Chains A and B, each alone.
Chain A
Amino acid sequence: MSFFRRFSRSPEAVIGASILGVLVVMALFAPLLFPRDPLSIAGPALLRPFQDWSLPLGTDRLGRDVLAGLFHGARTSLAVGLASAATAIIIGTIVGTLAGFAGGLTDEALMRITDAFQTVPGFLLALAFVSVIGPSLFVVVLAIALGTWTGPARIARAEVLSIRERDYVASARVIGMHPLEIAFREVLPNALPPVLALSSVIVAAAILTEAALSFLGLGDPNRVTWGGMIAEGRTVLRSAPFLSIIPGIALVLTVLGVYLAGEGAVETTAVRRGRS
């Protein structure tokens, strides 16, 4: 049976994938549907949702279109979530593979560095990094990756430790393969599946961290972010709670979607491996 048919049998996975699909469409079509700068003033301030159908979700304190912000914010959330998760996984697997494969002093040194990063809370690390270097999308991605690469590194190392004792690694040495080629071509691809299983959790956490950074005013100031919208609505929480609730719901749904779709994908591949 194909991957997609099995995937579509799990209702959670389908819900997750649908949410993600909607999100991707929102992100892709945001500049087409809302070509105006989402940070520009579109109407009267603090317009409630469903009052004016040209501004269906109303406006914020400065009269900016909430729906446009939601669409453009999806771009930032997805981009930051995927980019920082990818960065974290790449750094993590490389460090983990080198540590596990080289062993000895290299392993000790790399794993103590990993420990050092793990003892500092990831969010605090991101906060410190962004406040020192200054907020921009690239710095935010790097800051989030800085706090999350340790998980993939530990998993990759554990996997590599078991793989390096296998006969096919010995046979690669016998034919004279360079140790780095053995590590990255023979060992790493086989150590990846459990690391990738972690990726949905990392993406979800990265989206939340980005929102939290934006909430504290440390997001990229030139972009609309959901965290920034929530922070913006906070000052008028009593009179216009929808300004915080709408992006909040979007955030919850996104994290849920990423998580469900990721779990579905992992379960599907696990079933396939169990059968073969």
Chain B
Amino acid sequence: MTAPLLVASGLHKRFSRGGKTVVALDNVSFEIGQGETLALVGPSGSGKSTVARTILRLIEPDAGNIHFEGEDFLAQHGARLRAGRAKLQMVFQDPLAAFNPRATVARVLDDPLRIHDLADRAHRPKIIASLLDRVGLSPNLRDRAIHEISGGQRQRVAIARALATKPALMVLDEAVSALDVSVRGQILELLLDLQEAENIAYLFISHDLGVVRSIAHRVAIMDAGRIVETGPAAEVVANPKSAIGKALVAATPKLLRKA
């Protein structure tokens, strides 16, 4: 195997709110390979989203290192950091909150193309149409406002926006949790197809072990800011070793039923 795409080591983060300190990340280390899906599961408040936002430099860790494509990602600032963000994209849980309420579909997809100078003005409409096509949306949606389209369509637009800069890693923070079950299946299919076609790695954050088993290669279980267990997805789901892993599996009744 070649060098991993992303190496996070010894990440620490504390938040202090109203005099109380909460340890959100406590010595978190993990790796993600090219084209690999690492699922991060854990109960609410275990620090999953903090990991996601730290990897994306939306939150600065107190200590630790992040190496992305062999470079020290935490050492990048200003214009270099903004340019580097093209390779590391994110899809948020609530697709409505993740877009400017005034935006249209076309503007949302135009922004990354313009910011990273991926196409000149004349060619952008063509690229926007092909991005919509790749996530299974009609190009006719381009002039619609974000609030006019359905939740499933919105999440597809979010994925198209993340795809626009040809990322190597996409962080999916509970990206399918807010969608209803039938739409969730379609979006997961789409993500698997994209991974196969583009060799994109995913950091897939979820609390749904059923979804995790179907999409992830490896699973890391988090509890109280620490990674307590890592391993191949099928193995961890079938036979969790940590207490919290057992509790999470037990909380998913259909997985316990032996066929």
A contact set with B: CB distance below 8 Å: 166-168, 170-178, 186, 189-190
* Cross-chain contact A190 with B82 (CB below 8 angstroms): no
Interface majority SS (helix, strand, loop, mixed), chain A: helix
B96-123 Cβ-contact flags toward A at 8 Å (1 or 0): 0111111000000001100110000000
* Cross-chain contact A175 with B111 (CB below 8 angstroms): yes
Q: Complex Cα distance A166/B92, Å?
A: 11
**Which residue in A166, A168, A176, A189 is a CB contact (below 8 Å) of B115?**
A176
* Cross-chain contact A174 with B94 (CB below 8 angstroms): no
**Which residue in A171, A177, A189 is a CB contact (below 8 Å) of B99?**
A171
* Given contact pairs A170-B53, A171-B92, A176 touches B98 in the complex (Cβ within 8 A): no
Shortest B204–chain A CB gap in Å is 16
Q: Complex Cα distance A162/B94, Å?
A: 17
* Cross-chain contact A176 with B85 (CB below 8 angstroms): yes
* Cross-chain contact B98 with A167 (CB below 8 angstroms): yes
* Given contact pairs A176-B115, A177-B111, A190 touches B102 in the complex (Cβ within 8 A): yes
Q: Which residues from chain A contact B165 at a C-beta distance below 8 Å?
A: 175-176
* Given contact pairs A167-B92, A170-B53, A171-B92, A178 touches B82 in the complex (Cβ within 8 A): yes
Question: Closest chain B residue to A179 by CB distance?
Answer: B82
Given contacts A167-B94, A177-B111, 14 further A-B contacts (CB under 8 A): A168-B99, A170-B58, A171-B98, A171-B161, A175-B89, A175-B111, A175-B161, A176-B82, A176-B85, A176-B86, A176-B165, A189-B102, A190-B100, A190-B101
Question: Closest chain B residue to A185 by CB distance?
Answer: B100
Q: Complex Cα distance A170/B98, Å?
A: 8
Q: Which residues from chain A contact B102 at a C-beta distance below 8 Å?
A: 189-190
Query: How many contacts between A and B, using CB within 8 angstroms?
Result: 57
Q: Complex Cα distance A167/B96, Å?
A: 9
Q: Which residues from chain A contact B90 at a C-beta distance below 8 Å?
A: 170-171, 174
The answer to whether the Cβ of B251 comes within 8 Å of any Cβ in the partner chain is: no
Shortest B121–chain A CB gap in Å is 17
The answer to whether the Cβ of B56 comes within 8 Å of any Cβ in the partner chain is: yes
* Given contact pairs A175-B111, A176-B112, A170 touches B100 in the complex (Cβ within 8 A): no
Q: Complex Cα distance A6/B92, Å?
A: 37
* Cross-chain contact A168 with B100 (CB below 8 angstroms): yes
* Cross-chain contact B112 with A173 (CB below 8 angstroms): no
Q: Complex Cα distance A178/B111, Å?
A: 11
* Cross-chain contact A175 with B85 (CB below 8 angstroms): yes
Most buried by A among B56, B86, B99, B100: B100
Q: Which residues from chain A contact B85 at a C-beta distance below 8 Å?
A: 173-176
Q: Which residues from chain A contact B158 at a C-beta distance below 8 Å?
A: 171
B73-94 Cβ-contact flags toward A at 8 Å (1 or 0): 0000000001101101110101
* Cross-chain contact B100 with A186 (CB below 8 angstroms): yes
Question: Closest chain B residue to A181 by CB distance?
Answer: B115
The 10 closest A-B pairs by CB, nearest first: A176-B82, A176-B85, A167-B97, A175-B112, A167-B98, A174-B90, A171-B98, A167-B92, A168-B100, A176-B115
Q: Complex Cα distance A176/B100, Å?
A: 15
* Cross-chain contact A166 with B89 (CB below 8 angstroms): no
Shortest A119–chain B CB gap in Å is 30
24 CB-based A-B contacts, threshold 8 Å: A166-B97, A167-B94, A168-B99, A168-B101, A170-B58, A171-B90, A171-B99, A171-B161, A172-B100, A173-B85, A174-B56, A174-B58, A174-B88, A174-B90, A175-B89, A175-B161, A176-B83, A176-B85, A176-B86, A176-B115, A176-B116, A177-B111, A178-B82, A190-B101
Question: Closest chain A residue to B173 by CB distance?
Answer: A167
Which residues 39-87 of B sit at the A interface, judged by CB distance below 8 A? Answer: 53, 56, 58, 82-83, 85-86
Q: Which residues from chain B contact A176 at a C-beta distance below 8 Å?
A: 82-83, 85-86, 112, 115-116, 165
Q: Which residues from chain A contact B161 at a C-beta distance below 8 Å?
A: 171, 175
Q: Which residues from chain B contact A172 at a C-beta distance below 8 Å?
A: 100, 111
Q: Complex Cα distance A167/B100, Å?
A: 9
Q: Complex Cα distance A124/B233, Å?
A: 72
Question: Closest chain B residue to A178 by CB distance?
Answer: B82
Q: Which residues from chain B contact A186 at a C-beta distance below 8 Å?
A: 100
Shortest A192–chain B CB gap in Å is 11
Q: Complex Cα distance A178/B82, Å?
A: 8
Shortest A276–chain B CB gap in Å is 9
Q: Complex Cα distance A168/B86, Å?
A: 17
Q: Complex Cα distance A189/B101, Å?
A: 10
Q: Complex Cα distance A95/B70, Å?
A: 41
Which residues 149-205 of B sit at the A interface, judged by CB distance below 8 A? Answer: 158, 161, 164-165
Question: Closest chain A residue to B164 by CB distance?
Answer: A175
Q: Which residues from chain B contact A167 at a C-beta distance below 8 Å?
A: 92, 94, 97-98
B123-161 Cβ-contact flags toward A at 8 Å (1 or 0): 000000000000000000000000000000000001001
* Cross-chain contact A177 with B115 (CB below 8 angstroms): yes
